[in-house]
Amino acid sequence: MTRALSKHDPAKKWSGPTRPYDLIKEFVIALVVVAILAGGLAAVFSSPDDPALTLKSWSTADPADFVQTSVGELAGTTTSAGYGAPYNTAAEGQVLGPLKLQKWAGVRIPINPAKDFVISPLLILPDAAVKQAVNEWNVATADAQTKWATAYADALAKSPKSTSLDDAAGAYGPVPTITTALLNMAQTGALDGALTTSDTPLPTNFTKPMLFIADSGTYFPDLASAQHLSGDQWGVMNETGSWPGQSWLWLFSFFYQVEPFKSSENADTQVMSLLGLLTLLLMFLPLIPLLRRIPYRIPIHRLIWRDWYRRKKA
């Protein structure tokens, strides 16, 4: 028996001492214990369910932020407007050294924020003044559109609580009429429907309304920050309230907290690539000389197989 203990080749079928082991019984007991544990935890701690944001709830709760964001879409200054692939060609996107990874697949989800989020939804409104304003916008040159929207955005920035400003100097063109109509439309809930059903009457794709909401200057990020969900709050692995989130993403979240990733313009590409590399290291750890020796150097296996080693010693 001592010989079998010390000389066994781990690749060969075990021929040493055995013990009865009921795998099916072990599984059934594990299933019952897990069911009781999960059932108890669910009964005591429940689960979070903060209501989803809509364009209606955003425009009602913070109309000024909604209008400023809408003007930003027209001026081309929002995140979506300057995003790049896969939505548009406004930016190069993130790179990894010489690799322009963000651009490689091209524009596969075309989004024109000014047209898709602001102008097109207004076409369903019957209001003559709105139709005239939209028409004036559509026939204007790109320079004129940018000039109007930028001037209005600058004016709103000086009056951050306002949702509409008078245009005594005629510098804003049709922009105030357009954004006021969009605000009214959003507050009725009609804009949510217009954006989710613009491609198909069965809404399953929320790319347009969510990109619009994500462009929010303050409302959306402030709500997330209050729920400790921002990137600098380890938000990748957090959940609303005090519930555990995706804690298994802790390493992913960790890299966003430290330099050089924290302040990098290409943080996403760098962190995703690093995680990919670490995953490969974990996967092929048995083939990596130094790493595969760690369990030999730190003998925690002595604790796991303590009975076995005790008998071997005896």
Partner 1 sequence: MSKPKMWTTRVREATLEKYEPTDILPDTQPAYVASWIYVFGVATIACFVMLVATGLWLSFEGPAWWHTSSVGHYANSLHLWSVELFFVFMVVHLWGKFWMAAWRGKRTSTWVTGVIAFMASIITGFTGYLIQGNFDSQWIATQAKDGFNAMGIGAYFNPLNTGQAMLIHVALMPLVLGGIVVWHVILVRKRGVVPPIEAGADE
Buried b (16+ CB within 10 A) or exposed e, 222-244: ebbeebebeeeebbbbbbeeeee
CB-nearer residue toward partner 1: 124 or 278: 278
Nearer to partner 1, 77 or 273 (CB): 273
- Shorter beta-carbon distance to partner 1: residue 50 or 154: 50
Of the pair 54, 187, the CB lying nearest partner 1 is at 54
User: Least distance (Å) from partner 1 to the CB of residue 242?
Assistant: 13
Phi–psi pair at 256, nearest 5 degrees: -75, -10
Please, what is the minimum distance in Å from the beta carbon of residue 154 to partner 1? 27
Yes or no: say if 146 and 224 are a contact pair by the CB < 8 Å rule: no
Q: In angstroms, what is the minimal distance from the CB of 159 to partner 1?
A: 28
Q: Are 201 and 43 in contact (CB under 8 A)?
A: no
Angstrom distance (rounded) from CA 152 to CA 302? 72
**Residue 16 and residue 10 in contact, taking contact as beta carbons nearer than 8 Å:** no
Least distance in Å: CB of 274 to partner 1? 12
Nearer to partner 1, 162 or 243 (CB): 243
Question: At residue 114, what is the residue type?
Answer: A
Residue 210 near residue 196, CB atoms below 8 Å = no
Closer to partner 1 at the Cβ: 85 or 156? 85
Q: How far is the CB of 238 from partner 1 (least distance, A)?
A: 9
What are the φ/ψ torsions at residue 96 (nearest 5 degrees)? -125, 95
Residue 77: CB minimum distance to partner 1, A: 18
Q: What angle do CA 171, 138, 90 make, to 5 degrees?
A: 90
To the nearest whole angstrom, how small is the minimum distance from the Cβ of residue 314 to partner 1? 14
Neighbours of 213 (CB within 10 A): 21
Q: Residue 144 or residue 304: which is nearer to partner 1 going by CB?
A: 304
Cα–Cα distance measured from residue 29 to residue 223, given in angstroms and rounded to the nearest whole number: 43
CA distances from 195 to 75, 160, 202, 203 (A): 20, 26, 12, 9
Cβ proximity to partner 1: between 52 and 139 the closer is 52
**Least spacing, CB of residue 10 vs partner 1, in Å:** 3
Contact present, 219 and 196 (Cβ < 8 Å): no
Give the separation between CA 77 and CA 71, rounded to whole angstroms.
Answer: 9
C-alpha to C-alpha distances, 233 to 216, 241, 257, nearest whole angstrom: 19, 13, 8
